[in-house]
Amino acid sequence: MQMAINSLEKKVLGVLEEVHDPEINTVSIIDLGMVEEVNVQDSVVNIKILPTFLGCPALELIKENIKKAVKSIDEVQQVNVQFINHPPWTSDRISEQGRKGLKEFGIAPPPRLMDSDGSWHVDCPFCGSTYVTMENIFGPTACRSILYCKNCKNPFEAMKPISTLM
Amino acid sequence: MTELNITTNPENKAAVVSLLFQLADDDFLYSFRGSEWLGLAPHIEEDVASSSISQDSMGHAAMFYQLLEELGLDNADALAHLRPAKERRNSILVERQNGEGYYMDVPKYDWAFAVVRNYFYTAAKKIKIESLKNSSYEPLANVAVKVNIELYYHLLHWKTWFAQLLNSTEDAKQRMQAAIEQVMKDFGDVFSLGTEGEKMVEIGLIEEEKVLVQRWKEQLKPVFESLNLSIPEIPASPAANGRNFEHTEDLESAISTLSEVYRIDTAASW
């Protein structure tokens, strides 16, 4: 992401911290690594966003929420939000803050590395136990899997690792 | 070759458009047939998984229709819903109904057919998408990188079902063998690039059919060997080629069902 060089850009980045994933309200789109570029030309703000999964139904909602948030800044006359496919979004774009937010919501953050056979492991976001089983690689949304913790006996979700090496 | 001079030449643009329609219509029908399984899959976790795969695949179709919209064709929703069967470029395989009956009535869908179709189709899609990552048409190459990442999970899923059912009871094995035969009858146009195919290869949009077929077979080889099966032959000259607008009655009924709500009010905002 481009560095904030003027004060309006800083303000825009500030309000984007308050735009959350509509399905995970503890994580902002900045922390998810979805904001690729913020460009300010006088009072016009151009924002480039990376979709996480192509079929994610939340994308249009996120776009509208971004527009609403940025328009709330007095100096802004116009906001353009564009989804771009290059570079591809990958799960390693999620920040430390984002990983914390996911955990607060009960979702294990995506593992940083996969084993050479493509398998991966996460710990329980509730009790931290490593004694978990994969129930379903697919889950309630495109980006999540369903697991079960054998230690604290809670079902939980994990964000799928997404990498261009796959 | 740059993106600009590919689509400024009308003949080249026609090749790009044809390829995008093949990809879009394939994934659109594939995900529609997958969606018809909702609530009917063998168990609840499978319902979650296969509907998630349908949702991803519908997203892929939407991206390909979006690229067509950006080339000056109609808007993506209209392209998906309003084109009649005789203007569609999808393969015959993805338009075939899931089995006898209708999901609003008494569906007698065939899970073996679903597993084999989805596995073979996803394996073929993987090979094409890998080739498209190097497409001379850059917007398509960028989308291919995204699609490829999501396909990883789809392929793993259908490969697992395929191997497990073929390692299961005699009844399961027989049903799977029958499904393989049925799917292969319709596989003749899956890798076909249609009448604009030579142009597509010439300008570097995608690699040629026989190269893709060979890679598909290599990809399936370890799985088939582990199951003591030989890789089935792809029919050389298919009775109908969907890439050239030849289709079955199943496509007509699919389009009429899937576009029913959209046609009620094409200007509605969702």
Least CB–CB distance from A54: residue in B45, B50, B56: B56
- CA distance linking residue B50 with residue B178, whole number of Å: 22
- CA distance linking residue A110 with residue A91, whole number of Å: 7
Q: Which of B58, B137, B146 is the best residue to mutate to test the A interface, defined by the most A CB atoms within 10 Å of its own CB?
A: B146
Residue A95 lies in a domain: no
Question: Region B122-141: what's the mean pLDDT?
Answer: 97
Range of the structural domain that residue A28 is part of: 7-83
Is A166 within 8 Å of B57 when comparing Cβ atoms? Answer: no
User: Average model confidence (pLDDT) for chain A?
Assistant: 91
pLDDT of residue B4: 56
pLDDT of residue B84: 97
Report which of B132, B158, B110 is spatially closest to residue B211, judged by C-alpha positions: B132
pLDDT of residue B121: 98
Tokens of A74: 């007095």
Least CB–CB distance from B147: residue in A54, A86, A118: A54
Angle at CA of residue B230, ends B226 and B235, nearest 5°: 140
- Domain check: are A123 and A79 in the same one? no
- In Å, how far is B240's CA from the nearest CA of chain A? 31
Is B149 within 8 Å of A163 when comparing Cβ atoms? Answer: yes
pLDDT of residue A56: 86
The neighbouring-strand residues paired with A45 are A40, A79
CB A120 within 8 A of CB A161: yes
CB B21 within 8 A of CB B68: yes
* CA distances, B31 to each of A143, B41, B185 (Å): 18, 14, 21
pLDDT for A16 beyond 70? yes
pLDDT for B150 beyond 90? yes
Residue A98 lies in a domain: no
Least CB–CB distance from A55: residue in B56, B143, B157: B56
Is A137 within 8 Å of B145 when comparing Cβ atoms? Answer: no
Burial B231-242 (b: 16+ CB within 10 A, else e): ebebeeebeebb
Tokens of A109: 């953050």
- CA distance linking residue B55 with residue A135, whole number of Å: 20
Report which of A48, A30, A118 is spatially closest to residue B153, judged by C-alpha positions: A118
- Which has the minimum average pLDDT: A120-124, B103-107, B244-248? B103-107
- In Å, how far is A7's CA from the nearest CA of chain B? 33
Least CB–CB distance from B59: residue in A55, A118, A138: A55
Least CB–CB distance from A53: residue in B45, B56, B142: B56
Residue A12 lies in a domain: yes
Nearest residue of B to residue A160 by CA position? B153
- CA distance linking residue B129 with residue B145, whole number of Å: 8
DSSP state at residue A86: S
pLDDT of residue B110: 96
Tokens of B51: 């509907």
Examine residue A22 and say whether the peptide bond preceding it is cis (omega within 30 degrees of 0): no
Question: Region A47-62: what's the mean pLDDT?
Answer: 91
Quick: pLDDT tens for B216-264. Answer: 999 999 999 999 999 999 998 888 999 999 999 999 999 999 999 999 9
Sheet holding A44-49, edge to edge: A35-41, A44-49, A78-83
Residue A92 lies in a domain: no
- Domain check: are A70 and A111 in the same one? no
Give the domain CATH number at A46: 3.30.300.130
- Domain check: are A12 and A57 in the same one? yes
Nearest residue of B to residue A83 by CA position? B63
- Domain check: are A74 and A119 in the same one? no
Residue A72 lies in a domain: yes
Angle at CA of residue B101, ends B95 and B104, nearest 5°: 95
Question: Region B145-153: what's the mean pLDDT?
Answer: 94
Considering only CB atoms, which chain B residues are within 8 Å of A146?
A: 45, 48
Is A138 within 8 Å of B53 when comparing Cβ atoms? Answer: yes
Is A85 within 8 Å of B60 when comparing Cβ atoms? Answer: no
pLDDT for B3 beyond 70? no
Is B60 within 8 Å of A54 when comparing Cβ atoms? Answer: yes
- Domain check: are A11 and A79 in the same one? yes
Quick: pLDDT tens for B171-211. Answer: 999 999 999 999 999 999 999 999 999 999 999 999 999 99
Locus of tokens 């399936």: B220
- Domain check: are A19 and A77 in the same one? yes
- Domain check: are A137 and A79 in the same one? no
Nearest residue of A to residue B55 by CA position? A55
User: Average model confidence (pLDDT) for chain B?
Assistant: 95
Supply φ then ψ for residue A9, to 5 degrees: -60, -40
Task: Report helix, strand or coil for A26.
Answer: strand
Q: At what angle do helices B138-166 and B170-185 cross, to 10 degrees?
A: 150
Supply φ then ψ for residue B99, to 5 degrees: 155, -170
pLDDT of residue A135: 93
pLDDT of residue A15: 96
A44-49 and A35-41 strand pairing: antiparallel
- Domain check: are A75 and A26 in the same one? yes
CA B104, B106, B111, B113 dihedral sign is: negative
Nearest residue of A to residue B56 by CA position? A55
CB A145 within 8 A of CB A160: yes
- Domain check: are A79 and A134 in the same one? no
pLDDT of residue B236: 87
Q: How many domains, chain A?
A: 2
pLDDT of residue A120: 86
DSSP secondary structure letters along A41-69 = ETTEEEEEE--SSTT-TTHHHHHHHHHHH
Angle at CA of residue A51, ends A46 and A56, nearest 5°: 130
Residue A14 lies in a domain: yes
pLDDT for B2 beyond 70? no
Question: Region A11-28: what's the mean pLDDT?
Answer: 94
- Domain check: are A117 and A66 in the same one? no
- Domain check: are A78 and A127 in the same one? no
Locus of tokens 């093949």: B22
- Domain check: are A76 and A18 in the same one? yes
Question: Region A5-11: what's the mean pLDDT?
Answer: 85
Tokens of B167: 């390692």
Last residue of a domain, one of A83, A118, A142: A83
Q: At what angle do helices B138-166 and B10-35 cross, to 10 degrees?
A: 30
Is B146 within 8 Å of A88 when comparing Cβ atoms? Answer: yes
How does residue A3 score in pLDDT terms, banded at 50, 70 and 90?
Answer: low
Residue A27 lies in a domain: yes
- CA distance linking residue A124 with residue B25, whole number of Å: 41
Question: Region B153-166: what's the mean pLDDT?
Answer: 96
Least CB–CB distance from B142: residue in A53, A85, A137: A85
Is B59 within 8 Å of A56 when comparing Cβ atoms? Answer: yes
CB A106 within 8 A of CB A157: yes
Residue A89 lies in a domain: no
Report which of A30, A37, A32, A33 is spatially closest to residue A3, judged by C-alpha positions: A37
CB B60 within 8 A of CB B150: yes
pLDDT for A26 beyond 60? yes
Residue A100 makes CB contacts below 8 A (sequence gap 6+) with none
Quick: pLDDT tens for B45-89. Answer: 999 999 999 999 999 999 999 999 999 999 999 999 999 999 999
Instruction: List domains and CATH numbers for chain B.
Output: 3-264 (1.20.1260.10)
pLDDT for A1 beyond 60? no
Nearest residue of B to residue A86 by CA position? B142
